[in-house]
Structure 1
Amino acid sequence: MTNLSKERPKALLLLAGTATMWSLGGLLIKSVKASPLSIAGSRSAIAVVLLLLVLKKPKLTWSVAQIGAALAYAATSMLFVTATKTTTAANAVLLQFTAPIYVAIFSSWLLKEKTKLLDWITVFLVMGGMVLFFLDNLSTKSILGNGIAAASGVSFAFFIMFMRMQKDGSPLESVLLGNVFTAAIGLPFLAWSAPDASGWLYLVILGVVQLGIPYILFSRAIKHATALEAILIPVIEPLLNPVWVFLILGEAPGLLAIIGGFIVLSAITVRCVLAAMLSPAKEVST
């Protein structure tokens, strides 16, 4: 029995746990009464402490790829928190989940990877789904929130691509730096928008349970899971995220957003499954 098959059951549990903890983001962010940047900065500062305890001596190469991934991570974090505060949790997470589409568009330029017909078909379907998000519940605030969420998908795509460029690096170092950058930008906003006692409790949970621990578990699980498993199991996050918000806070996306989300999620999942099935087994680097 290979090491991969021995460790796979544990890896699958770690991936499922990771996605479930990530999915708490929408509920916890909406529960903190503070500005988006102060939430993002505080969450990242708490995550930095946890990551330093795990890494002990981070291997910082300061390469273009490592810095690029860190900056893209910081942008993604701040944009996602802002979008979650401005639009529905479902819209925020599903529009961020369009990242693989931007990877398909930009990878030929940044990674020298050829974009295939299947990628362009998926791009067309996802863009159609995104139109429905912007048609749903038309208002200045919702359009702004959806636009910010879509931007977080672009920055997350660059985070993925810069991570792929680090063939011999540790993904946690880039995540650590990204959280440091986010904390440096966001923490000063606490002077104008500080949370109350319950808000700080939610921020600790965000930093430790929703951000720090999941990335540690994901970095370990990815070494023993197949590409297909690593693609499919994290889909739990965009499915559960709006569920928690609806059950606890009663927020529900509109009908057009639900249809758009179904199109986006289905198109990307099918595309990833087909790509994984048609490609030789290899370690996932993201």
Structure 2
Amino acid sequence: MNRNTVVNGNLIGILGGIILSTDSLFIRLMAVDNSWLIVVLRGVLMWAVMFAVWGLWPKSRAVLGVPWITRQNLLPALFFCAASACFVNALNRGNIATVLVIISSTPFVSAIISRLFFATKIDRSLMGAAMVGMLGVVIVMTGRQSGYDGSANYFALATAVCMALAFIFASRVEQGTLALPSLGGVLASVVVSLFAGSGLVTPLLALHAGQWGWLVIEGALIIPVAMGLISLSTRYVPPANAGLFLLLETALAPLWIYLFLQQAPTLHAVVGGGIIIMAVISQTLRVKKQAAIAL
């Protein structure tokens, strides 16, 4: 892996992280109380978009991969499936800042799993950036509010673990990986539908036009593009590095919530978010500088 591809991988991942940071806003704008209904609908929308692109634009297939389960993509699809279900439940049940703080532990989880189970060498600068980013996370956490469903924390932790494993196994897929999050999303839709059955019919029929609009934007555009870009970045950077891009959501989501819902972030969130952004930018600039020296 040469330096230029690493730089490109970081830029791809940062773009994905910025887009992903709006996800929390759209889920709140939906105002859909049934979290499992959101999982089902957005999973179907994600996969439908990717399948349409795969079918109508043959040149994209090398980057997308196949929109169905194979022996090679099974594991990352399964973990993206679990992450999708857990993330929606965490965000719909708990405080946004707290949930995102827990999920932002993904880089550490990914690094530890990669090191312990796959003997992957972790770059010191990457671990340093993760440490600085987690300092921002700690600052955000000290300003969290009380009065939310405690189960959200467990869903958030499960999301972090599943995302870390999804990135690790996605980096080992030889073909395209852009469609993997969408494949995991539709798999979550199938699993939830099988267990929920007719229990989703009533809340589905109760959705109004505005809610459908936010669902389509989030499920057919935001998530496929954001998670696809972050998944694609694992072809060029270590999986643990890809986890750093999720920290951008922790930093930026409170800003979008404030701008569109007038819910002001705490001072802790602003300061911690700034530190997180600087950690990601500094790691990217360092890699870019090394690439320039190597030329």
TM-score normalised to structure 2 length: 0.70
- Residue 193 (structure 2) pairs with residue 183 (structure 1): no
Deviations 1:220-261 (A, max 9, x none): 8998x999xx97988765544322211111223333344444
Number of aligned positions between the proteins: 268
| Structure 2 partner of 1:145 | 152
2:27 matches 1:29 = yes
* Unaligned runs of at least 5 residues, structure 1: 282-286
Whether the 8 Å CA contact 2:251–2:272 is kept in 1: the answer is: no
Query: TM-score, normalising length from structure 1?
Result: 0.72
User: Does the aligned pair in 2 maintain the 1:134–1:146 contact within 8 Å?
Assistant: no
Q: Where in structure 2 are there 5+ consecutive unaligned residues?
A: 56-60
Question: Does 2:261 align with 1:249?
Answer: yes
3-state SS of paired residue (2:121): coil
Q: Which moved more, 1:71-80 or 1:42-51?
A: 71-80
SS of residue in 1 equivalent to 2:73: helix
* 1:74–1:181 contact (8 Å) kept in structure 2: yes
- Secondary structure at the counterpart of residue 180 of structure 2: helix
Return 47-56 or 183-192, whichever deviates more: 183-192
In structure 1, distance between residues paired with 2:78 and 2:268 = 33
Contact kept? 1:91, 1:253, Cα under 8 Å: no
1:74 alignment partner, one of 76, 81, 85: 81
Q: Give the conservation status (yes or no) of the 8 Å contact 1:73–1:159.
A: yes
The CA deviation string for residues 18-51 of structure 1, in whole angstroms up to 9 with x for no partner, is 5554333111100122222211221111111111
The 1:59–1:210 alpha-carbon spacing in structure 2 relative to 1, beyond 3 Å, is closer
Contact 1:94 1:264 in 2 (8 A): no
Q: Does 1:159 align with 2:160?
A: no
Classify 1:117/1:215 alpha carbon distance in 2 versus 1 (closer, same or farther; 3 Å): closer
Once the 2 structures are TM-superposed, how far is the Cα of residue 210 of structure 1 from its aligned partner?
0.8
> Residue in 2 aligned with 1:43?
42
Seen in structure 2, the aligned counterparts of structure 1 residues 158 and 280 have a Cα distance that, compared at 3 Å, is farther
Q: Deviations over 1:99-140 (max 9, x none)?
A: 222221111133321245555555555555444444434525
**Distance in 1 of aligned mates of 2:149 and 2:45:** 30
Give the alignment's Cα RMSD to 1 decimal.
4.1
CA contact (8 A) 2:19 2:222 kept: yes
Which of 213, 231, 239 is residue 201 of structure 1 equivalent to? 213
Is the contact made by 2:101 and 2:141 (CA closer than 8 Å) also made in structure 1?
Answer: no
Q: Alpha carbons of 1:32 and 1:100: their partners in 2 closer, same or farther (altered >3 Å)?
A: same
State the 1:15 CA deviation: 7.1
Give the Cα–Cα distance (whole angstroms) in 2 for the partners of residues 268 and 203 of structure 1.
Answer: 29
Q: Counterpart of 1:247 in 2: which secondary structure?
A: helix
Residue 284 (structure 1) aligns with: none
Compared CA separation, residues 26 and 60, structure 1 to 2 (3 A):
closer
3-state secondary structure, aligned to 1:252 = coil
Cα distance in 2 for residues equivalent to 1:141 and 1:171 = 36
**Structure 1 counterpart of 2:162, one-letter code:** S
- Aligned amino acid, residue 175 of structure 1: P
Cα 1:272–1:140 shift into 2, 3 Å: farther
How far apart, in 2, do the equivalents of 1:127 and 1:215 lie?
21
Per-residue deviation, 1:160? 0.8
- Would you say the 8 A contact 1:136–1:254 is kept in 2? yes
Residue 55 (structure 1) aligns with: 54
Q: Distance in 2 between matches of 1:112 and 1:226?
A: 16
2:70 aligned partner, one-letter code: W
